[in-house]
Structure 1
Amino acid sequence: MTATLSLSELTETCGVSGDESRVRRLISRAIAPLCDELFTDSMGNLIAVKGKDKPGPRLLLAAHMDEVGFIISGYHSSGLLYFKKVGSIDDSVLLGKHVWVGPRRLPGVIGGKPIHLLKKESERQRQPEADELYIDIGAKDKAAASQAVELGEYATFATRFSEFGPGLIKGKALDDRVGCRLLVDLLECDFPFPLYAAFTVQEEVGLRGAQIVAHRVQPDVALVLEGTTSAEKPDGKEHVVSTRLGRGPAISFMDRSTIGSRPLIRHLIATAEKYHIPYQIKEVVAGGTDAGSIHLSRAGVHTAVVSIPCRYIHAPAAVASRADIAHGRELLAKALGELPLVVSEGGDPIWSN
């Protein structure tokens, strides 16, 4: 059976950290026919189980549902909305951007002090910080604003999904809806071991959902599926490029939250080379992923990260390659189908290669 869930649907659905319910419902409807069990834990993680009674190591695949965004924190007497950032967003990408506010997706725009009121040269030369900005929804006063939007409601960048140049796509929240799409695809496969697929919450604010998932599932091995930084810049500084679009999925040796399992990384690389699947090594150690929480569970979990390169993550629009996504899907399916791992009599995972 094949899931009917497009990347367009995933990216255009709003799901800031702590408000992932719409994304969860969308995924849940798509994968329900593909798994033996499907449940949501108390934190909001969606966990699908397939082949629970099969022998072999217990595998956890994880991709986070949440995206960076904003939470409404107050009202100005003029009807403007104050906000706080949720997750890591560079202030330089905010001013003048269109947003969707609240569950009704009210249109808004992020505004700041008008340029003609910037009297000092120092004001004109610096980038305004998020605390100096506001969201304008067209409300005439505070009463109208408070009637339209409640405090604590969320806002996201208002970006539609689209094709973008030869073989590229553009949309918001590719970090990590692209990982969610890959995870849905992998649920369509049949592997010779128990598979737990976790669509996690609150990754962007501290890898929180994954910690709960790992404690509950108690996996022997885990793979985290991500959308990662890609920054081919025209200034020629090749040594600071993390990944490159069109060169395949990226395998990480380490980031700021974890050092990957070398046996698992070796298996991923060997699989890619065996089947001539394009891949790349993530060259810059930056950011963190759900692997940071998962690998510390219990006595430790063999964990690695496979990512799809995305330009401009944590910004209004990201760009990714359809070929990279397809090759990521192929690499993961092949690698998991030939996982050289058995479980000892004592219950510990042993690599057989």
Structure 2
Amino acid sequence: MLLKILSELNGTSGAEKEIRQALAAELEPCVHSLSTDKIGNLIVQKNPPLSAPKVMIAAHMDEVALMITAITADGFLKFQPVGGIDPRILVSKPLKINALTGVIGAKAIHLQKPKEREQALTIEQLYIDIGAKSKEEAEKHVKIGDYAYFFTEMEKLGQGYLKGKAFDDRVGCAILAQLLKRDYALNLIGAFTVQEEVGLRGATVAAYHVQPDFAIVLEGTVSAQMMEVEEGEWVTEPGKGPALSMLDNATLYQPQLLRQVIDLAEKMGIPYQLRRGHSGGNDAGRIHLSREGIPTIALSVPCRYIHSTASVLAEKDIEHTLNLVDGILKAIPHEFSFR
């Protein structure tokens, strides 16, 4: 399963090589061309260039991770997050740094003073233990600037769910790869982008270079369907189909495009939901502003616990997202217009 392969590989912002290589190997036999631009995006041309509309589908390869910023005299590693990570979820989590295993440590609760116990730990209070006894020993294996990754095996969870790391946005990458194996009567470009988690940087370059007539962004998005959140505040719900974005911190999506996607989903009998929150953003934030403007939509697979060591999604949401995008591509330009 491609998603399992992608989920278990490591590739944070600026270090997406493993993901790019896996996708290139998967797609090389069934596409016209593959190229890597100077920032690291993998650009895949499905067919020889056609006069038909040029459609770009984007999914980002990078995941959140940690960067080593210092090594203490005792051989512990200090770090900073790459992308948005809640420090509260980090204590005791296992990591991979190069070929090493490490564990995130902090002052044990038994040693904390009463006031310390009342406050959440900050990044500055955390460190990584790799079993080194000194700075010199640690430096034999780790350098400043190395990345530390969560490692989680992807596996089935309960009935119809998957658990794994980096579903944001390896699930989008897996869906895009499946679409690029199919044939469409249009000029289809796949953009596997880099550095989304640190400012949508790869998408900026890809959109400027490709110059599509229309763009679709595939994402793994936050789901707030959990015990602590009232039902009326759920942003998305796993198992209810792809989430269609209306607005977020980076994009106000065009209502006429959203309406067409909804109409098509209902015609095809594909379940969908509206993303009912405006926080965050995705590659659409840069794509839709490129050059003279690019009509853009975003479809996301709801994931619980994104930006953590393990996320959870519903398998059928992957299928429904794939089928809806397939329907959009087949409907262009006669039944789906972005003009």
The TM-score with structure 1 as length reference comes to: 0.93
Q: CA RMSD in A?
A: 1.5
Match of 1:98 among 94, 100, 106: 94
**Superposition deviation, residue 114 in structure 1:** 2.1
Distance in 2 (alpha carbons) for counterparts of 1:116 and 1:285: 40
- Please say if 1:116 is aligned against 2:110: yes
Partner of 1:251: 244
CA contact (8 A) 1:15 1:22 kept: yes
Q: Which amino acid aligns with 1:39?
A: S
Distance in 2 (alpha carbons) for counterparts of 1:341 and 1:258: 26
Distance in 2 (alpha carbons) for counterparts of 1:352 and 1:62: 17
Distance in 2 (alpha carbons) for counterparts of 1:339 and 1:262: 18
Q: Which amino acid aligns with 2:12?
A: V
Partner of 1:130: 123
Distance in 2 (alpha carbons) for counterparts of 1:36 and 1:262: 34
Deviations 1:78-124 (A, max 9, x none): 1111111000001111111111112xx411110011223312x2101
Structure 1 residues 20-35: aligned runs within 5 Å = 20-35=16-31
Partner of 1:351: 337
Partner of 1:45: 41
- Please say if 1:11 is aligned against 2:7: yes
Give the SS at the match of 1:22: helix
CA contact (8 A) 1:79 1:144 kept: yes
CA contact (8 A) 2:214 2:338 kept: no
CA contact (8 A) 1:230 1:245 kept: yes
Q: Mark the CA change 1:352 to 1:234 in structure 2 (over 3 Å): closer, same or farther.
A: closer
CA contact (8 A) 2:257 2:338 kept: no
Give the SS at the match of 2:117: helix
**Superposition deviation, residue 286 in structure 1:** 1.5
Partner of 2:140: 147
Match of 2:280 among 281, 284, 287: 287
Distance in 2 (alpha carbons) for counterparts of 1:340 and 1:234: 43
Which consecutive residues of structure 1, in runs of 5 or more, have no partner in the other structure?
343-349
The number of residues matched between the two structures is: 339
Match of 1:319 among 312, 321, 326: 312
**Superposition deviation, residue 352 in structure 1:** 7.7
- Please say if 1:57 is aligned against 2:69: no
CA contact (8 A) 2:58 2:190 kept: yes
Distance in 2 (alpha carbons) for counterparts of 1:223 and 1:230: 20
Partner of 2:170: 177
Distance in 2 (alpha carbons) for counterparts of 1:207 and 1:217: 16
Q: Mark the CA change 1:251 to 1:352 in structure 2 (over 3 Å): closer, same or farther.
A: closer
Q: Mark the CA change 1:81 to 1:236 in structure 2 (over 3 Å): closer, same or farther.
A: closer
Distance in 2 (alpha carbons) for counterparts of 1:52 and 1:292: 28
Give the SS at the match of 2:176: helix
Give the SS at the match of 2:28: helix
Match of 2:328 among 330, 335, 347: 335
Q: Which amino acid aligns with 1:29?
A: A
Deviations 1:157-211 (A, max 9, x none): 1211111110000000000000000000110121111111000000000000000
CA contact (8 A) 1:36 1:49 kept: yes
Give the SS at the match of 1:148: coil
Distance in 2 (alpha carbons) for counterparts of 1:122 and 1:188: 57
**Superposition deviation, residue 263 in structure 1:** 2.9
Q: Mark the CA change 1:236 to 1:23 in structure 2 (over 3 Å): closer, same or farther.
A: closer
Question: Larger deviation: 230-239 or 153-162?
Answer: 230-239
Give the SS at the match of 2:140: helix
Which consecutive residues of structure 2, in runs of 5 or more, have no partner in the other structure?
none
Q: Which amino acid aligns with 2:61?
A: M
Distance in 2 (alpha carbons) for counterparts of 1:352 and 1:260: 12
Q: Mark the CA change 1:235 to 1:136 in structure 2 (over 3 Å): closer, same or farther.
A: closer
Distance in 2 (alpha carbons) for counterparts of 1:113 and 1:275: 55
Partner of 1:159: 152
Partner of 2:224: 231
Q: Which amino acid aligns with 2:337?
A: W
CA contact (8 A) 1:52 1:195 kept: no
CA contact (8 A) 1:230 1:309 kept: yes
The TM-score with structure 2 as length reference comes to: 0.97
Distance in 1 (alpha carbons) for counterparts of 2:181 and 2:117: 54
Distance in 2 (alpha carbons) for counterparts of 1:319 and 1:174: 8
Instruction: Report percent identity of matched pairs.
Output: 45
